Structure 1
Amino acid sequence: MSAKDRAGARAADPRQRRANAGSTILVTGILVVVSVYFLVPAYWIVVAATKTTEDLFTTNGFWFAPTTHLTENVTRVLTYDDGIFLRWFANSVLYAGIGGLVATLFAAAGGYALAKYAFRGREAVYGLVLGGVLVPATATALPLFLLFSELGLTNSYWSVLIPSVVSPFGLFLCRIYAAATVPDTVIEAARIDGAGEMRIFATLGLRAMVPAMVTVFLFQLVGIWNNYFLPLIMLADPDLYPLTLGLNNWYAQVERLPEFYELTTGGVLVSTVPLVAAMFVLQRFWRGGFTEGAVKE
């Protein structure tokens, strides 16, 4: 009996069908629980951003108040203190956008080189990168502060941007992806045709590594956008704050001025919009990457 026939016989077995149905229900249930775990906080932020401070404490936390104040809250967020929120927003876009883009390019170039070039010490470099993946960012924040302090770069854009352009995980991922998706035969054919190494990397390597690069970019974008500890120790000027520091600064004043609850919840809602938009825009590159190498029978 062929493998196809055996698979058909197992599919016809009622016990096998019940086992498959049970597994499907279990997996679906786990996914539903995980989805609720992640979506409930986002839902609460949407609801809270539509309320006044009084409504936050007198109405159901998971349902809207009789009167919606979303427009007023967002307007106050954008105009408070001469629009300081917009300054924090622009800083976060600068840190996360430039940091994520440069880190992705560096990771792609380094991963491609480690995957496609044989040189002495390659495995040692790769092992060092793996070690960097295991080191938490909080462990390196204080040494970075001392180093940047000696260089006179603290309390500047560079103190947050420079550490953001390094992604050990991104280099690790790009190395694996380049080894699997960029054929050596195609590289050799390009060399025979007279293409230089930079042109091969730009025209063949980068195109094949797009799904991995999108993944690295999104990880860096989210990581830098939500980074709190590094800007906290590096920055003293509120005009240089990213959204994480700015919103925390607002939240620290809620006991003295309760209206800051409205500013904080509205600011958190607005701050999530770029991340959601980036996910929806870039997910199509993942779908394209999943079909690479697929064969039709």
Structure 2
Amino acid sequence: MNSLTEASRLADTSSPRLPAGTRAPRQPRRRAGGNETSLTSRTMVTAILLLATFYMVLPVTWLLFASTKNAQQLYGGTIFDFTDFSLPQNIADIAARSDGIFFAWMGNSILYASVGAVIGGLISVAAGFAFDKYRFRGRNKLFGFVLVGVLIPNTATVLPLYMLFAPLGLTNTMWAILLPALCNPFSVYLARIYSQAYIPDETLEAARVDGAGPIRSFFSIALPMIMPGFITIALFQFVAVWNNYMLPLVMLTSERLFPVSLGMSLWQGYTRANPEFAPLVITGSLLSILPLILAFVLLQRYWRAGMTEGAVK
């Protein structure tokens, strides 16, 4: 009996006492079927991702198979079949059509997109850096105009640009495509975000103390630090200029200056009267996406790092 009393006394002294009028905290309960709910969620997410992947990959797969067919096989056979491989012949027909004008279109697109990506991306990064690191009168108002420009679709600016370029004699020239590619409001907005994430103010202050001016600070310090963001912006601009259709349609009349997007649209119009153009259009469309795939594959470690850094910040 004494041992039982002693044990109960020790238990009372060892357990913490709560103040009067308070309740002991409830122990968290484990939800029944928690593992099943988590498994169901993962299954649903995986299914949605598989459907999205199938939706995006199926057109490219169809394009790959259809580019191996001639006109008779394209309209009268099965697309997903490699029994008759006509891709080399289709490429040869593209090269022979109009003295190889397709490759001139590809060269024009590479020129327009490269200038827009490199020079336009550099201008956007410099503008975003200036908006972030420098204090000047009207900075917030000017950046507000940049944000308004992000909201305006590019197709809405085509006719005003034509009215500006026509009196200067710039229509039906490469400058009508190159000059608009040098300015992209969304790239400026994105560059300011990357500047805030990558470039510490203390580093620029130390450079100013050492005697570096604004231009040297940007090219020697800021640009190397923001290089992943610059690559990401350049890729965005490359794709945007490559896929641009409305601006060349309004500005250009000479077929030799057409980008590949406008050239494929021209050939697509010919297929109504001449079905023999259909394999050329399909094979040309396949060839036209190869530079985009190549650019993303070669620069993926840069733009993936840039997008991850932007998401974390």
TM-score w.r.t. the length of structure 1 is 0.90
Distance across 1 between alignment mates of 2:274 and 2:81: 23
Q: Give the match for residue 154 of structure 1.
A: 171
Q: Letter of the aligned partner of 2:51 in structure 1?
A: V
Shift of 1:101: 1.3
1:228 pairs with 2:245? yes
Distance across 2 between alignment mates of 1:177 and 1:13: 42
Q: Give the match for residue 144 of structure 1.
A: 161
Q: Letter of the aligned partner of 1:189 in structure 2?
A: A
CA 1:138–1:203 in 2, change beyond 3 Å: closer, same or farther?
same
Q: Give the match for residue 214 of structure 1.
A: 231
Check the 8 A contact 2:228/2:305 in 1, yes or no.
yes
Deviations 1:194-216 (Å, cap 9, x if unpaired)? Answer: 22222221122112222221221
1:128 pairs with 2:145? yes
Shift of 1:77: 1.2
Shift of 1:286: 2.9
Q: Letter of the aligned partner of 2:43 in structure 1?
A: I
Deviations 1:157-185 (Å, cap 9, x if unpaired)? Answer: 00111111111000000101101221011
Shift of 1:284: 0.9
Q: Give the match for residue 94 of structure 1.
A: 111
How do 1:6-155 and structure 2 match up within 5 A? 15-61=33-79, 63-155=80-172
Aligned with 1:254 (options 251, 271, 292): 271
Distance across 1 between alignment mates of 2:133 and 2:32: 50
Shift of 1:292: 6.1
Distance across 2 between alignment mates of 1:137 and 1:66: 44
Distance across 1 between alignment mates of 2:280 and 2:224: 43
CA 1:289–1:240 in 2, change beyond 3 Å: closer, same or farther?
closer
Q: Letter of the aligned partner of 2:37 in structure 1?
A: A
Distance across 2 between alignment mates of 1:286 and 1:244: 25
- Taking only the aligned residue pairs, the percentage that are identical comes to 41
Structure 1 segments unaligned to the other structure (5+ residues): 1-8
Aligned with 1:164 (options 181, 204, 207): 181
CA 1:137–1:289 in 2, change beyond 3 Å: closer, same or farther?
closer
CA 1:290–1:225 in 2, change beyond 3 Å: closer, same or farther?
closer
Check the 8 A contact 1:51/1:64 in 2, yes or no.
no
Q: Give the match for residue 270 of structure 1.
A: 287
SS in 2 for 1:130: helix
Q: Give the match for residue 215 of structure 2.
A: 198
CA 1:288–1:219 in 2, change beyond 3 Å: closer, same or farther?
closer
CA 1:245–1:286 in 2, change beyond 3 Å: closer, same or farther?
closer
Shift of 1:224: 0.9
Check the 8 A contact 1:55/1:65 in 2, yes or no.
no
**Segment of structure 1 superposing worse, 186-195 or 276-285:** 186-195
Distance across 2 between alignment mates of 1:167 and 1:15: 51
Distance across 1 between alignment mates of 2:48 and 2:221: 40
Larger radius of gyration between Structure 1 and Structure 2: 2
Shift of 1:149: 0.6
TM-score w.r.t. the length of structure 2 is 0.86
CA 1:29–1:43 in 2, change beyond 3 Å: closer, same or farther?
same
Distance across 2 between alignment mates of 1:20 and 1:204: 47
Check the 8 A contact 2:197/2:309 in 1, yes or no.
no
SS in 2 for 1:236: coil
Distance across 2 between alignment mates of 1:277 and 1:269: 13
Q: Letter of the aligned partner of 2:279 in structure 1?
A: E
Distance across 2 between alignment mates of 1:87 and 1:235: 15
Q: Give the match for residue 196 of structure 2.
A: 179
Distance across 2 between alignment mates of 1:33 and 1:126: 39
Check the 8 A contact 2:232/2:307 in 1, yes or no.
no
**Segment of structure 1 superposing worse, 193-202 or 155-164:** 193-202
Aligned-pair Cα RMSD in Å:
1.9
Shift of 1:13: 6.5
